[in-house]
Amino acid sequence: MTTNIQSILDQLGVKANNAAFSTGSSWGGDANAESLESFSPVDGKLIASTKVATTGDYQQVIETAQVAFADWRTVPAPKRGDIVRQFGDALRANKEALGTLVSYEMGKSLQEGFGEVQEMIDICDFAVGLSRQLYGLTMHSERPNHRMYEQWHPLGIVGIISAFNFPVAVWSWNAALALVCGNVCIWKPSEKTPLTAVACQHIIAQVLKENEVAEGVCSLILGDRTVGEVMTNDSRVPLISATGSTRMGKEVAATVGARLGKTLLELGGNNAIIISEHADLDMSLIGAVFGAVGTAGQRCTSTRRLIIQESVYDVFKEKLVKAYDQLRIGDPLDQNNHVGPLIDKDAVTAYLDSIQKCKTEGGNFVVEGGVLTGDHYSSGYYVKPCIAEVKNDFKIVQHETFAPILYLIKYKTLDEAIALQNGVPQGLSSAIMTLNLREAELFLSAKGSDCGIANVNIGTSGAEIGGAFGGEKETGGGRESGSDAWRAYMRRQTNTINYSNTLPLAQGIKFDL
């Protein structure tokens, strides 16, 4: 394993060094600064280390980005799109290596690691087309011989703060769109997964260098939350896109809002699947199990709750228990395994605490949890996916635990099921399994799911880049990726042109001199 991973690190240009930041192909950092070490949750081994950025490092990155923006915004959007296309091609060439590193550093299955890189490729393809479609509207003026229209301009520097669970894909969602819109980017990745970020920076920096793009268009800065706090307080960064917990998002929103900056927030989820009596139960089982145990329950779209109609409750519960008995837990680089480790010790502690709180509130575990031990689980971060029968108003059920804990809730009527689905503070992803057209349409109507994502006959987890991704309530309200999410990275400007030889005022106001 170590030799294989080392060869992958070499291929991607990742090595132990004193670098704490990059403004492109240039790397820097204080050799005496604190080390940022990355340990794999797969086996607990040290992969490599970098450095934590200093305040001086941050100032160098931001000043370089400011200079770069002045030029980058003048590059025609289709040309910017072509550079992003080349980045997508570079990702294709490095998909296996980068996907493997994602799996090893973060702990998700190898197939999910490859899938994450594919998401990056897909958003690059989307952004290339978008670079020729940054449309504004033309409006009719009430004044004669006047023309009104709107156009969109880049904001400037986009600060991207990403989480460990999707260590590279969410950055690319933001960066690909921000770049074609004419912005420059500064990426602060999770301190738990710095090496995948370093690898991505090497890949995109090479593309930018080949196109003779100036330093500072796409920058990386490593460190803990202190670095993120400096960036969120910086008025030179007009947009902060942050992915993480609701607690973190509230702090970012308050800080950036105080300086009247913009935020794009992707926060917690507490996602439910409604299992109707009209559902295809075998198909529903696949969606429910993958949604609950994929990435060891560490997706913001992970399925936390199953709301099951009482007439099929016992049958479906039995199917779930049998399916969980067949789950293979272990090294995520072994494609025979379904479930890998949690990210670290804190995640294991949160998992165990949630199980205990659920039991204290009266939860009945039909599949027990626990931490796995033995040679195959040497990191200590492997846990058993578990299932508990609960009530929706349990405090622990209202809370998002980033772990493979699935809650079962029984319902009688669809109106009751929808109320249960909506009855949590978060509003990211939701789904209903039903072959009844009326149920499906009601779930998708204004009286149905209150989430940003609502699916029929697929699970809550996984999203295509063509649609805008994000949620409501404590999920933060942000939208990334497809549809018109690009508008978050630009400022709207309304233009009125008077081509007459008089100056009439709007609303018929007279002002004669």
Give tens-digit pLDDT for 206-255: 999 999 999 999 999 999 999 999 999 999 999 999 999 999 999 999 99
What Cα–Cα distance (Å) separates residue 309 from each residue in 243, 273, 281, 312, 415? 34, 11, 12, 6, 11
Ranges in the chain, pLDDT < 70: 1-3, 16
Q: What is the pTM of this model?
A: 0.96
Enumerate domains of the chain plus CATH numbers: 2-267+476-492 (3.40.605.10), 271-466 (3.40.309.10)
Catalytic residue among 116, 191, 266, 480: 266
- Residues whose CB is less than 8 angstroms from the CB of residue 377 and which lie 6 or more positions away in sequence, other chains included: 330, 341
Q: What is the pLDDT of residues 150-199, one digit of tens each?
A: 999 999 999 999 999 999 999 999 999 999 999 999 999 999 999 999 99
Question: Exposed e or buried b for every residue in 297-331, given b needs 16+ CB within 10 A?
Answer: bbbbbbbbbbbbbeebbeebbebbeebbeeeebbb
SS (H, E, C) 177-227: HHHHCCCEEEEECCCCCHHHHHHHHHHHHHHHHHCCCCCCCEEEECCCHHH
* pLDDT given at position 2: 42
Read off the pLDDT of residues 390-402 as tens digits, 9 standing for 90 and up. Answer: 999 999 999 999 9
Among 432, 450, 429, smallest CA distance to 440 is for: 432
Q: What is the pLDDT of residue 15?
A: 78
441 is catalytic: no
Q: What is the pLDDT of residue 309?
A: 98
What count of other Cβ atoms lies within 10 Å of the Cβ of residue 178?
25
- List helix spans (H) across 259-385: 281-293, 313-325, 345-360
Nearest CA to 438 among 276, 282, 272?
A: 276
Residue pair 52/89 in contact (Cβ under 8 Å)? The answer is: no
Instruction: Find, among 206, 185, 149, 147, the residue nearest to 69 by Cα.
Output: 185
